[in-house]
Structure 1
């Protein structure tokens, strides 16, 4: 089960990021559903044929679009804002020809969920939980319940959010971006120490196309990232997280799961947009 953010991404493909006070014309944008937890659920569904996402979408101009897009990729969506007016989180994405992207978006408002975490978890009976740090009140309760039931909890640590200070105490696995730096942490060693103090069992730090560094049960190591012809990096980190959850459930081997997930994440970068890769076998 994936708990967190759902956005509507409007992605333009351009040659270069424009300078100030210029107007550029390009082809039609991709308009697709995104967000850290949502993209992770999409990757899990690609491997597992289905996944469960809990995120607010609510009533707005994009409601049916979000439903249709998630249905198309096999994601079973529990709308935490069901029946409520809710402002869609939009993201404008500019992707240049070398695959780099610039994103303009906004933070979501907190939501009063129409389903209690306890009831949701009883209904879904998840084998693993991933949270992306958004909607902390709801996420914290999900994390606590799963921890009590012995269900592995994975945190997508993309950027530091104050709620991680408490959330991480009940997290088993943290997958961090290179930008994730808690207060008073200035390098990777300090980040590893921070996670150890929180009793996080396994920590990985991804860094784009560079190798992934990890510490798992006192064992340090690296996972090499395959070189591909990069067309677009949007969502790659999220797809890494979703694939990791799937492979970790196979045999609960952290290093093996991370290696396999890195292969899929690299594969997604060789396509423009966040959906075209779903039509291909990444093992072919």
Structure 2
């Protein structure tokens, strides 16, 4: 039976940070400019938005905030940069209870700015359209001699590393360092990237989207990913059941039906954050995924990827 994990207060998070396991999320942090519209505009057409919000986003960032809201101390390693936009992003991440570590050294990378995403959410359906500078904003910004150990901080066997594949030059050495420390390594496989195969080989668990395709493999995505090394592979399908392949055994996990759909933005990120957070709390893979789909289903009932936590749902 599905149960709703409790939302944790900031004060409780500070206490937990001293003693409990830590989730380290390594990947993309963006400034999201979100506008709610009645419908998407056509070519050469303008529409008036119902509302406007500017906040942080990105798979790793949303996952870290999800874990923090669930009571698991989280550290986000990402590329932030400097300037007013970077300052606003830092303040917003701190307000979510997430420790932020900037992988960019301003002295060596002057003028670097955070990635920006423009998001249009359609009222009534919660569907979203996204335009982002993700890849171009991060490409070439990280040095080959980045001290990954210093970025990650101290790690132990109870900690979890979650990668989203969006931080070139850091993800692979981070996964290696985590494996050496005995951590559980998890990958958010939203899309196939040049180093995905090498990264997956270092992972214990990989949760991919329905859109992911493995180059050169047939239609069995679960088997193709599992063949690369991870013992636990799951594939989400939006509101549909999650496919699972665990140590050669197949199963599925149903997703609870939300009472309403307000906004699907970041629901996949919530799945990954809640899954990794549950693993850090000692849950099995199966129990962690069941918890994660409950939280994700709850998240679409609220605006934004973190509205469910802010509303105390």
Deviations 1:83-126 (A, max 9, x none): 24313211111111201111011212233359511223343557
Q: How far apart, CA to CA, are the structure 2 residues paired with 1:245 and 1:257?
A: 7
Q: How far apart, CA to CA, are the structure 2 residues paired with 1:232 and 1:217?
A: 34
Q: Which residue of the partner structure matches residue 247 of structure 1?
A: 278
232, 237, 258: which one aligns with 2:263: 232
191, 194, 203: which one aligns with 1:171: 203
Report if the CA contact (8 A) 1:53-1:75 is conserved.
yes
Q: Which residue of the partner structure matches residue 263 of structure 1?
A: 294
Alignment of 1:1-284 (within 5 A): 1-48=24-71, 50-83=73-106, 84=109, 85-97=111-123, 98-106=125-133, 107=135, 108-112=138-142, 116-123=147-154, 125=156, 127-187=159-219, 189=220, 191-228=221-258, 229-282=260-313
Quote the RMSD (CA, aligned, Å). 1.7
Q: How far apart, CA to CA, are the structure 2 residues paired with 1:163 and 1:250?
A: 29
Structure 2 CA distance for partners of 1:124 and 1:147, relative to 1, 3 Å: closer
Corresponding pairs, count: 280
Q: How far apart, CA to CA, are the structure 1 residues paired with 2:150 and 2:95?
A: 26
Q: How far apart, CA to CA, are the structure 1 residues paired with 2:140 and 2:97?
A: 26
Provide the TM-score with structure 2 as the length reference: 0.85
Deviations 1:174-231 (A, max 9, x none): 00000011112352x2x12212221111000001111101111222111111111111
Q: How far apart, CA to CA, are the structure 2 residues paired with 1:274 and 1:134?
A: 18
Q: How far apart, CA to CA, are the structure 1 residues paired with 2:72 and 2:96?
A: 8
Tell me which moved more, 100-109 or 72-81.
Answer: 100-109
Structure 2 CA distance for partners of 1:123 and 1:110, relative to 1, 3 Å: farther
* Structure 1 residue matching 2:201: 3-state secondary structure: helix
Compute the displacement of 1:130 (Å).
0.4
Deviations 1:123-179 (A, max 9, x none): 355700001001232110000111122211000000111110211111111000000
Tell me which moved more, 154-163 or 122-131.
Answer: 122-131
Report if the CA contact (8 A) 2:188-2:206 is conserved.
yes
Q: How far apart, CA to CA, are the structure 1 residues paired with 2:228 and 2:168?
A: 17
Unmatched tracts of structure 1, length 5 or more: none
Report if the CA contact (8 A) 2:72-2:280 is conserved.
no
* Structure 2 residue matching 1:137: 3-state secondary structure: coil
Report if the CA contact (8 A) 1:13-1:27 is conserved.
yes
Q: How far apart, CA to CA, are the structure 1 residues paired with 2:237 and 2:217?
A: 17
* Structure 2 residue matching 1:242: 3-state secondary structure: helix
Q: How far apart, CA to CA, are the structure 1 residues paired with 2:206 and 2:165?
A: 11
Structure 2 CA distance for partners of 1:242 and 1:65, relative to 1, 3 Å: same
